[in-house]
Amino acid sequence: MTGKIPLSMNAVEIVKPGGPEELQLVQRNVPNPKANELLIKIRAAGVNRPDVVQRQGHYPAPEGASDIPGLEIAGDVVAIGDQVENFHIGDQVVALLPGGGYAEYAVVHASNALPLPSNFSYVEAAAIPETFFTVWHNVFQLGLLKAGQVFLVHGGSSGIGTTAIQLAKAFGATVITTAGSQAKCDACIELGADHAIPYREQDFVAAVKELTNGRGADVILDMVGGDYTNRNYQAAAINGRIVQIAFLNGAKAEINLSYLMMKRLTHTGSTLRARPVDFKADLATELKKHVWPLLEKRTIAPVIDMIFPLKDAWRAHKRMEESNHIGKIILDIA
């Protein structure tokens, strides 16, 4: 470590499970990097729905991870462990963390960090890791989305949705999305979605069928669950893949298995946070190869909704829970 690194730092902790007011600014020790880790001076951190669920007490940090919320950051490498080869002090990076992002410093396994795309601010770059790692794995690796296929993503205006729309379009899919208001639908179209269904006014199953001449969607990325599950089966094409990443409307569902059998559907899903470092490292390698060039050219870029200072992390959570945001909410920690 260099002498400029302080012993303690500002961080936001969850005092106890509850509302946004349980997020409070505290002092914590600056962590020390282990052999394969980077110490990063955080300049900006992304806020994600899983942070809200953690604060509510339903998504504890995995074993060994920081109890401080925050799954993604952008910043500067200020110290490196003995075995780190591919990064140097002074490098600008983005990183996926299992926790600890709502703070001035964090350690991360070097394999889970990537260079800051050129011409990206820290705020923009902090919006990348969580949704890009998640979408790449679930849509392309599990969902096997290919050019020319029809992709349906629910919650198109969410952090995940805005990333999924852009990546699916960039890789040649036809994109249909659902969103809770006309303004959100308009934003999704602006971002490149071919069709956006205001799901409070229109039945998405009928709309998808109509838009695809009765064929349905090849891949569905779903964060809603509950009663959407059977409806996703109805909206899916023959050999369709449904990938579950959350269940905002409930984890239990009544389904008609005949859709699964008659259409030969695959229903799978995953959670990213607790996966091992090596798994995330492989994802980082794929993203660097296939997606970083698109970011460098700004063919795609995260959508930023609002920026809050670290001490106002509670306001960032309030904004997310009000669900009026479009894209990503960011903490500016410069």
Ligand X SMILES: NC(=O)c1ccc[n+]([C@@H]2O[C@H](COP(=O)([O-])OP(=O)(O)OC[C@H]3O[C@@H](n4cnc5c(N)ncnc54)[C@H](OP(=O)(O)O)[C@@H]3O)[C@@H](O)[C@H]2O)c1
Binding site for ligand X (CB under 6 A): 48-50, 53, 130, 134, 155, 157-160, 179-180, 184, 223-224, 245-246, 248-249, 270-272, 320, 323
Q: CA dihedral defined by 80, 82, 83, 87, rounded to 10 degrees?
A: 30
Residue 50, both tokens? 């899983």
Amino acid at 171: F
What is the spatial distance between Cα 73 and Cα 12, in angstroms, rounded to a whole number? 14
Of 81 and 198, CB closest to ligand X: 198
Residue 178 CB, shortest distance to ligand X, in Å, is: 7
**Comparison of 20 and 159: residue with beta carbon closer to ligand X:** 159
Least distance (Å) between residue 303 CB and ligand X: 10
Q: What is the distance between the alpha carbons of residues 219 and 241, in angstroms, rounded to a whole number?
A: 5
Quote the least distance from Cβ 212 to ligand X, whole Å.
21
What share of residues in the chain are helix, strand, coil (percent, to 5)?
Answer: 30, 30, 40
CB nearer ligand X, residue 48 or residue 66: 48
Please, how many CA atoms are within 13 Å of residue 85, restricted to the half-sphere of its CB?
Answer: 0
Q: Which is nearer to ligand X, 30 or 74 (CB)?
A: 74
Structure tokens at 248: 């905002």
CB of 32 to ligand X, least distance (A): 28
Contacts of 253 (CB under 8 A, 6+ apart): 225, 226, 227, 228, 229, 230
Name the minimum Å distance from CB 158 to ligand X.
3
Using only the alpha carbons of the chain, give its radius of gyration. Answer: 20
Tokens of 44: 């900006």
DSSP-assigned states of every residue in 237-250: EEEEEEEE---TT-
Beta bridge partners, 77, equal: 40
- Specify the residue, 36 or 157, whose C-beta has the smaller distance to ligand X: 157
Closer to ligand X by CB, 139 or 265: give it.
139
* Residue 214 CB, nearest approach to ligand X (Å): 25
Of 102, 109, 106, the residue nearest 30 (C-alpha): 106
Q: Which is nearer to ligand X, 31 or 69 (CB)?
A: 69
Tell me the two tokens of residue 202.
């229109």
